[in-house]
Amino acid sequence: MNHLIKTTQLLLLLLIALLPLAVLGSIHVKHVSAADSKINMLYLNGVVVYNLKTGMYNVYSHHELIFSNIVATCKVKGKILSSADFPERKYNQISISDKFGNGSRHTVTLRGNSGVEMKQVFYIYNNRPYFITQVELSGSYLKSNYMSPFKGSFAGINGDARTVFFPFDNDTFISYNSKPFIAPAANISSETGAVFDNTSRRGFVFGSLEHEVWKTGVSTTATKDSGNMVNVFGGYSDSTVTRDNIPHGEIGGTIIKSPKVFVGYFDDWRAGLEEYGKANRMAEPPFIFNWTKPTPVGWNSWGVLQDKITFDKVVKVADFIADSLAGFRTGNTAYVDLDAFWDNMLKGGNEGDYSKLKEFADYCKSKGLQPGVYWAPFTDWGWKSGSNRKVEGSQYNWGDIWTKVGNGYHEIDGARAIDPTHPGTQQRIAFIIGKLKACGFKMIKIDFLGHGAAESTHFYDTTVTTGMQAYHKGMEYLIKQLDGQMLVYAAISPNLATARYVHTRRIACDGFKSMHDTQYTLNSVNYGWWLTYMYNFIDADQLVLGTETPGANRARVLSGIVTGTFFTGDDFSTAGQWATVAKKLYQNKELLKVIKNGKAFRPVEGNTGDKTTEMFTQWIGNDFYLAVFNYSNDAKEYEINKQRLGLALNKKYTIKNLLPDDAPSSLTQLSSKSKLPANDAVLYKFSKE
């Protein structure tokens, strides 16, 4: 097999050097010429060609020039160093075998520039359609808050060209945005970048694979004169995206490294992002224990009850789920999760009497349910009451542990951030988590985690100099305190960096019951569905039925199914339409089969701006599922294009609508159209005949 791979790679290199290149799809292609002092690093379907004379490299995929004049750049002592500026370059290669497979590590060592040595490192794998690169600096003690291993030009995109804005987190109702990429165009994205033609679906994916030190930015620009440019750099700080009001912290040492960066070109941008998600999972394996139990389903109090939760109400909710929703299960249990304001049930505050909480947890278990709770470990919500308040479980005052930013503090969402590295913060975490474990909770929803990733002028732990280092410290400490006793669910949190620490994560900000809420939530699925490969589960959070129309209820329920798990949020302590609809929808065995699969659906289109596609698809075994949403106030007819959906044109399918009988069901084997009323949704199951 190795001999075959090497032979194939040599043939590919010969083709690159000798054959004229043809335009493939939407990429503008240039001829490749052989040159002296060039190093060829071959990966699946591609090759990196590094020029030792210039310190630049080009990348080819399927004989196409896709990246050109790529350099590494770093800032040291206010000066930008580029790999193109060093007079001396040496190269070496070693074989490697790791979680990514068999391959080789290629290192170009650059010297002769002010006593600083630069290394450009390339990780090339035989079985991966992408490569990974990193830049490293060494010398007498160095500091930098900007390190880019990948900066240069990339090939033009024809057709419906798009560049995607990926947010850092899911706070402030932020949305993903697939923007037109026609000169002049510019986009700075967090951690991840994608540029593609939505018509052919061909395109580029690049982004960070490490999140314990750096916040990474991905800049893509299109200009008429200079063409397309990309820069993937550690050191991104933006008050509207990363939430930071100061520059990214500096890292220091005799050796400093950028984040590892993923680079690939794919026939389908969606497949590229899925590869990227899987690569992140391998690059930073979970710190938390792996979840092997069934897909979690249940109820969360923030949907409707919010600050009105009482012991009597949540006990009635538990009764309803145990008795009236007995079929709402993917395993043998469901979760009943208390969100914020569970401290309404405490006597004497957070250091007082937790007996009522324990009584609730015991009651849930007696009904065959699992009790859940909520907490925000890195926030002070009472900061306006002063700095001299004692931090529960510690000898410190709140003013001691606030995250320092210049002459002030870090605040967002009405809460003041606290330093994850401070012993007062950690003592508080140990105290509260200890109380919740003693109550017997089996799930915890942790929220406002982005506060723990804020850049700070000074952290208590002086070895920590960046927000992500602080987040890493704080989250590891939290998970250690939980000690494997709970399902861990993240709400507002960094999109990628949280994957090591939790089992499931909310995909967007709060969404409740309206069609607008559904569309907002699904925007994050449209461009963030691939996070399903980084987490055990991603989730749409509180799915509220309320008194909405049957169509809006169907759409809201389906938005949860499409995301991958299912947590409802109605007030089931009282009777109402929502209870009747829940009994019908939540116990539908066909829908539960899809939920049990636990993975997000894939979007059909990627040209929706800050809105969302109307169709999502999923294969489960031999069955194909198509979710169709009509977000508009008018009835619509949808063309069902099998080829666009990824279905074989010569196959026949039995088509079944999985939502209740009163839902629209116009699609049949003989029809290529689906008609949907305004503000409605449908889920079709295609089974091979």
User: What does the pLDDT look like over 463-490, one tens digit per residue?
Assistant: 999 999 999 999 999 999 999 999 999 9
The fourth-level CATH superfamily of domain 297-600 is: Aldolase class I (3.20.20.70)
Q: Kindly report, residue by residue over 126-158, the tens digit of the pLDDT.
A: 999 999 999 999 999 999 999 999 999 999 999
Which residues, 6+ apart, have CB-to-CB distance to 190 below 8 Å? 166, 167, 168, 215, 216, 217, 218, 236, 241, 242, 495
Quick check: 11 pLDDT over 80? no
Q: What is the DSSP letter of 32?
A: -
Closest CA to 204 of 46, 84, 69: 46
Summarize the confidence of residues 550-567 as an average pLDDT.
96
Would you state the pLDDT for residue 16? Answer: 40
Q: How confident is the model at residue 272 (pLDDT cuts 50, 70, 90)?
A: very high
pLDDT tens digits along 350-378 = 999 999 999 999 999 999 999 999 999 99
Q: Is 269 in contact with 196 (CB distance < 8 Å)? A: yes
pLDDT digits (tens, 9 = 90+) for 228-245: 999 999 999 999 999 999
| AA letter at 74 | C
pLDDT band at 667 (very low <50, low <70, confident <90, very high): low
Q: Are 195 and 228 in contact (CB under 8 A)?
A: yes
> Residue 174's pLDDT is what?
96
Report pLDDT for 668: 62
- The CA distances from residue 280 to 429, 491, 632, in Å, are 28, 20, 36
The mean predicted confidence, pLDDT, of the chain is: 92
Q: What 3-state DSSP class applies to 196?
A: strand
- Cβ(129)–Cβ(43) under 8 Å? yes
pLDDT (0 to 100) of residue 15 = 40
Alpha helices in 303-352 (DSSP H): 311-323
Q: Which long-range contacts (CB under 8 A, 24 or more apart) does 91-100 make?
A: 91/39, 91/50, 91/52, 96/123, 99/282, 99/283, 99/285, 100/125, 100/128, 100/132, 100/279, 100/282
Q: Stretch 288-302: mean pLDDT, rounded?
A: 97
Q: Is the peptide bond before 677 cis (omega within 30 degrees of 0)?
A: no
Is the C-alpha dihedral spanning 540, 542, 543, 548 positive or negative? negative
pLDDT at 268: 97
Instruction: Give the pLDDT band (50/70/90) at residue 4.
Output: very low
Is the pLDDT reported for residue 23 higher than 60? no
Burial 547-578 (b: 16+ CB within 10 A, else e): ebebbbbbbbbbbbbbbbbbbbbbbbbeeeeb
Q: Which residue has the tokens 């035989």?
A: 126
Q: Which of 372, 655, 631, 639 is nearest to 487 (CA)?
A: 372
Predicted pLDDT of residue 497: 98
pLDDT at 379 over 60: yes
Superfamily name and number for 72-283: alpha-galactosidase from lactobacil brevis (2.70.98.60)
pLDDT band at 7 (very low <50, low <70, confident <90, very high): very low
Greatest distance between any 2 Cα atoms in the chain:
80
Q: Strands, E, within 258-333: which ranges?
A: 261-266, 297-300
List the beta strands (DSSP E) in 77-125.
79-82, 88-98, 101-113, 116-125
Quote the pTM value: 0.93
Q: Which helix (H) or strand (E) holds 681?
A: strand 680-688
Is 31 a residue whose pLDDT tops 80? Answer: no
Q: Is 610 in contact with 176 (CB distance < 8 Å)?
A: yes
Residue 18 above 90 pLDDT? no
Write down the domain spans for the chain.
Answer: 72-283, 297-600, 615-688
d(CA 534, CA 426): 27
Of the chain, the percentage scoring pLDDT greater than 70 comes to 93
Top pLDDT among 666 and 138 is at: 138
CATH topology (fold) of 615-688: Immunoglobulin-like (2.60.40)
Per-residue pLDDT at 318: 98
What pLDDT was estimated at residue 650?
84
Would you say residue 564 has pLDDT above 80? yes
- Is 14's pLDDT higher than 50? no
- Model confidence pLDDT, tens digit, residues 64-115: 999 999 999 999 989 999 999 999 999 999 999 999 999 999 999 999 867 8
In this structure, how many other beta carbons lie within 10 angstroms of the beta carbon of residue 282?
A: 12
* 627, containing H or E segment: strand 623-630
pLDDT at residue number 267: 96
Phi/psi for 465 (5° steps) reads -125, -5
Average pLDDT over residues 223-230: 90
Residues 486-524: tens digit of each pLDDT? 999 999 999 999 999 999 999 999 999 999 999 999 999
Percent of the chain clearing pLDDT 90 (strictly above): 87
